[in-house]
Chain A
Amino acid sequence: MVRRHLLLALGALVVVVLVLENTSQFRNAQFGAMAYYAIAAGGLTVLTGLNGQLSLGHGALMAVGAYTTALMLQSREDSLPLPVILALAIVVTLVVGALVGVAAARLHGPYLAGATLALAVAVPGIPLFFGEWLGGEQGLNVRLPEIPVWLADAAYFVTGQELTQIRFLAYLGWLAAIVVFVLLANLSRSRIGRNWQAVRDDEVAAELAGINLGRARVQAFVVSAGCAGLAGGLLALSARLAAPSGFTLTLSLLLLSAVVLGGLGSLVGALVGAALLTFLPQVVTGAGTDLGLTDVQAAQLAPLIYGLVTVLVVLLAPAGLAGGLRKLINWRRSS
């Protein structure tokens, strides 16, 4: 299993390189965004799909990662290397996630949703309260360090294109996404992942089998929080900003809807959901403008279509797009 995941990861890497090198800068930026949405959605789908905990607070956890990253990138010269900064963003979010997770482990269903909802509402208020330090409503600007010269040269040598800031971030995002997805896939097929599923399916049975319910839940929450922290850090890098208005409840709900659209508990589903989140609004707005709608009408079209797609998926493919596709393939095979 592990070997298969690694092979898939290698294949994914080649695909990523080919896609990023052969698409425009703008598409690169969109793929970069898709990468961080995918990481966050991947973490959430493991938490909700595998362990059965519903979190409405992942947007807030992303904010923790984003602000950690932004705080460490306040000057262009003497900043740590980006991978170190992202690792620190993960660690800080892990700690926050552990605290929330301990509380969350005692809660079920709607109560857990309520507690994490409170997190999503409260966290954007923190930068406002500590305005001097965290930039208040305007947020913290992120000063991206220059791409290391050796890396830029190496990339140019191999690809024949300048490694722009945007493409660099897209690579960083997808490298992170591939690593995260391999780890999540391995984890969910390991003993720990099976424990999580056992807790989800039947608490009493799981406890009788010797699984510590609380520990399994906190573990799942912490892993998921780490993903959200990494995603938040990448978001701060590509938006060049960490501001409270970027991490409202809407973001948490969008992530959840992406997971549901893609297929709960499926990592492929998380990818599909992230793709929808990234590309659907822009494509729909563009199509609206081409159809002769005014800018305002076209802008209002995107949420409408997103809502309609959600309704249709829930009605026609209750297991999500990935689940629906799998079903279709199985049905074709058997008939």
Chain B
Amino acid sequence: MKRWYAGTALLLAMAVTAAACGAGGRPEGEDAGSTVGITDTTIKIGAHFPLTGVAAPGYSEIPSGHQAYYDYVNANGGVNGRKIEFVVKDDAYNPTNTSQVTNELVLNDEIFAMVSGLGTPTHSAVVDYLNDAKVPDLFVSSGSLQWGDWPKEKPFTFGWQPDYEIEGKIVGDWVKKNMPDAKVGLFLQDDDFGRDGEKGARRYLDDQIVAVAKYTPGNTDVAPQMAQLQAAGVDLVLGFNVPSYTALSQLVSLRIGFKPKWFYSNVGSDPALVGSLLARFSEGAVTDGASMLNGVMTTEYLKGVDAPDDPWMKLWQKVWDEHGADGDLTNYRVYGMSQAYTFVQALQAAGPNPTREGIVEAIEKQGGSFEGPGVAPFRFTGDSHLGMSGMSVVEIQGGVGEDLTPVLVTDLGDAPIKEDDSAAGDEPPSNGIPNVKPAE
């Protein structure tokens, strides 16, 4: 009994002491722009990527592209004397992990900004948190509309690649004009990706679409979907799907004797990755996977490794040779370097003393005029944080994309589709580092 009293007394004493260390009231203070993550010589940024797990093939190469380009910039003096540190965390494409590693990036690593966090389901888990914490959330690696179509609600978030709705519109318009008699079937991933793509395509193709088949990521049996499209008499499949489902749909349709024309969205069409996946999924039965994609149509907004003579590709090759990790330059690394290039532009636009609020403002003011590797300009303004405004339609032959159209540019809703090659001619600066003047 006595020991019990003694214990309670001790605890109470501890509690009172702890409470006495408190403050009593709040001090007054005012808010200047936040400079978390910035010192005179460094600026720390971070991102979440799937480095392990099902989504890792391909996507895990993107951060190595970022790193190579930042190393290149740092070796040339950095941005305004600051070296860029890029911290990558693995979320294994699991939104619960994304939330944990984002906590770690923001609170423990104290990053200035999230740059190019990857994935629609994963990033949507943290987008509210980043905006509440006022952490710039730049150039998300996903084409979902939610990063940019409502900047009042998510003022710190910016998209980067063309969103899935305008991709759907451009694809739909092209099919309407060039294959007006095709019976179109949609093969969709069952999330924003498929939904936004379908919305865009239906704007032009509503009366040509005869069947819609959806798949859930993770379920690797797509035979029912392919059989459904075949039974509906489809002769052109539009796929808004990820690369592994391009490979699966090709293999299954081969098996059931389904031979339509194929049109895959940009996301699912990387010939090198799909080729290697085909070889793996078919357990060696398909040896030359890339050639299976001959005649497949897709869209393109960045020049890739199939165009080694493009001036941007020459720059990326040089950067990769000088600062890259092991392995060859791939389209995913090019994607990462291109995002890194845009980030360096944004950082320059934010001026010599960047703040979190300042960089957002600078992108809204100047982002629309950033010249970069993308074939179409960004749509960044105070009213839209959506990324690139267009792409071109290409046909894959021998692993190389051949242009079927000039660059087509549009926006959400009923904005018209226009030909606009103005941004496609942008050349990289001779030293490979952008030179954006600070916003006024």
Report A's interface with B, CB cutoff 8 A: 3, 7, 10-11, 14, 17-18, 21, 24-26, 29-30, 33, 128, 131, 136-139, 141, 143, 156-161, 165-166, 235, 238-241, 243, 245-246, 282, 285, 294-296, 299-300, 303
Contact = CB atoms under 8 A, between A and B. Distances in A.
B24 A157 contact: yes
Given A137-B191, A157-B24, A296-B60, A26 B107 contact: yes
Given A7-B4, A14-B18, A239-B96, A24 B108 contact: yes
Interface in B49-69: 51-52, 56, 60, 63
Interface in B94-124: 94-96, 99-100, 103-104, 107-108, 120-121, 124
A166 B107 contact: yes
Contacts of B24: 157, 160
B108 A26 contact: yes
Nearest first, the 7 closest Cβ-Cβ pairs linking A and B are A160-B23, A26-B107, A299-B90, A246-B96, A26-B108, A239-B99, A241-B125
Contacts of A300: 51-52
B95 A239 contact: yes
Contact of B19 (A141, A158, A166): A158
Contacts of A299: 51-52, 90, 92
9 contacts: A14-B18, A128-B216, A136-B190, A137-B121, A138-B124, A156-B25, A161-B23, A294-B325, A296-B56
B99 A3 contact: no
Contacts of A159: 21-23
B256 interface: no
A240 B108 CA distance: 19
B26 interface: yes
Interface in B37-92: 51-52, 56, 60, 63, 88-90, 92
A160 B90 contact: no
B107 A24 contact: yes
Given A3-B4, A156-B23, A295-B88, A243 B107 contact: no
Interface stretch (B8-16, B203-211, B265-273, B340-348): B8-16
B420 interface: no
B93 interface: yes
A251 to B, nearest CB: 8
B192 interface: yes
Nearest to A251: B96
A153 to B, nearest CB: 9
B415 to A, nearest CB: 26
A18 B51 contact: no
A208 B63 CA distance: 65
A243 B96 contact: yes
B104 A295 contact: no
Given A7-B4, A241-B124, 20 more contacts: A11-B7, A14-B14, A14-B18, A18-B14, A24-B107, A24-B108, A26-B103, A128-B190, A136-B190, A139-B121, A141-B125, A143-B128, A240-B125, A240-B128, A241-B95, A241-B125, A245-B93, A246-B96, A285-B89, A285-B90
